[in-house]
Structure 1
Amino acid sequence: MRGAGHWNPLWDGVAELDPEWTESFMRTTMSTYRGGVLTPQVVELLCIAVDAACTHLYAPGVRRHMRAALDLGVEPREILEVLKLATTVGVHSINVGAPILMEEMAGRSQ
């Protein structure tokens, strides 16, 4: 992961506490990059979606994967479409919250 430029400094502590588990996790993660099932472009687009999702919001990863995607020839408009799709994860906040609000409001009017 370090050699490929995918290392997150936040993993340093985990690597120190449990180097064997960390190495196993990194090998598993890197197999997606090297597996050949998905094109490198698709892998980078998926990584952008994960890092940009409201449940993750990891800006250094978004930047790193955007650069890699652009270097691989991905068009900026393709990246923008991925970002648009990633925003749909946040819509569930209102899907969950609005019914609860309606229940709470109904309970107060009685």
Structure 2
Amino acid sequence: MSRQAQEQAARDRFNALLGPATFHEGWESLLALSPSFFNASVSLASVPRKNLHLSSKNQALIGLAVDSAATHLFTPGIRTNVAAALKEGASIAEVVEVIELSSTLGIHACNIGVPLLVEVLKEEGLHVAETTKEFDQRQEKLKEEFTTKRGYWHTFWEDFLRLDADFFESYLEFSAMPWTKEVDGKVGGALEPKVKELVYCAFDCASTHLYKPGLKLHIGNALGYGATPHEILEVFEIATLLSLHTAHVAAPIILELNAQKGTI
């Protein structure tokens, strides 16, 4: 079989398994450089689409969470997943809510940093009164409000709330909004709670982040909202596809620079 025929067969297989709408410059350049790696990548990416433990719409939303996370920001994937989600019937409100949920990733600077700060302060015997004081009335109210609006509480919020109630209160407003806003006359956001928790799982488990405390917490929350182990595993599988973006970003650059040498 000629190289041209091989590439056409690979493209036809891609279209059959992943759909022509998902074919972007990264895939095209990878096919030109390495048809065998292209085919292996298509095989990997197609498994969640075959199993469909999550609906096609929710798979696209999970992919959007991975690609739009601050630790990744893969523009071709964002575009592909938004288009796929809309095609599968997602509303604009649902798509935007994934962005709102994924935008909470940055708080992990505090979730990791504050406990370490307190640990070092205690080791050094510094600011003991400030790091061991009981919550005042405002802090207790904020803890109760967080638990009500977000549906859980975790000990890693304790020191954060103790040391800076103002920032905690602002973050509560920011993070609770997808859980409390009114959409189409219904309070609670656009996505069901299970899907919200799976979105958190998606960017926490991604190789660009790997935030274990949050991932464990949100796995438990997702199970509590009715998620199955296979649905959660499928989130991990979709997040694993982030690794394909190495080739999707590099392949076009390789072709461009090689063409400048006049060898293609």
TM-score, length of structure 1 as denominator length:
0.70
Give the SS at the match of 1:24: helix
Deviation at 1:14, TM superposition (A): 5.5
CA RMSD, Structure 1 to Structure 2 (Å): 3.2
Indicate yes or no: 2:61 matched with 1:83.
no
Structure of greater relative contact order (alpha carbons < 8 Å, 6+ residues apart): 2
Deviation at 1:12, TM superposition (A): 5.7
Residue among 60, 65, 76 paired with 1:49:
65
Distance across 1 between alignment mates of 2:92 and 2:69: 18
Distance across 2 between alignment mates of 1:17 and 1:67: 27
Deviation at 1:11, TM superposition (A): 5.1
Is the alpha carbon distance of 1:51 and 1:38 closer, same or farther for their aligned partners in structure 2, counting shifts above 3 Å?
A: same
For residue 40 of structure 2, what is the aligned residue in structure 1? Answer: 24
Residue among 65, 84, 89 paired with 1:68:
84
Indicate yes or no: 2:53 matched with 1:37.
yes
For residue 75 of structure 2, what is the aligned residue in structure 1? Answer: 59
Q: Which runs of 5+ in 2 are unaligned?
A: 1-10, 125-264
Deviation at 1:26, TM superposition (A): 1.9
Is the alpha carbon distance of 1:25 and 1:48 closer, same or farther for their aligned partners in structure 2, counting shifts above 3 Å?
A: same
Q: Which runs of 5+ in 1 are unaligned?
A: none
For residue 9 of structure 1, what is the aligned residue in structure 2? Answer: 25
Is the alpha carbon distance of 1:7 and 1:71 closer, same or farther for their aligned partners in structure 2, counting shifts above 3 Å?
A: closer
Q: How many residues align?
A: 107
Distance across 1 between alignment mates of 2:67 and 2:50: 20
Give the SS at the match of 1:56: coil
Deviation at 1:33, TM superposition (A): 1.6
Distance across 1 between alignment mates of 2:73 and 2:38: 22
Deviation at 1:81, TM superposition (A): 1.6
Is the alpha carbon distance of 1:25 and 1:90 closer, same or farther for their aligned partners in structure 2, counting shifts above 3 Å?
A: same
Distance across 2 between alignment mates of 1:93 and 1:15: 39
Distance across 2 between alignment mates of 1:28 and 1:82: 24
Of 3-12 and 36-45, more deviation after overlay is shown by 3-12
- For residue 77 of structure 1, what is the amino acid of its counterpart? A
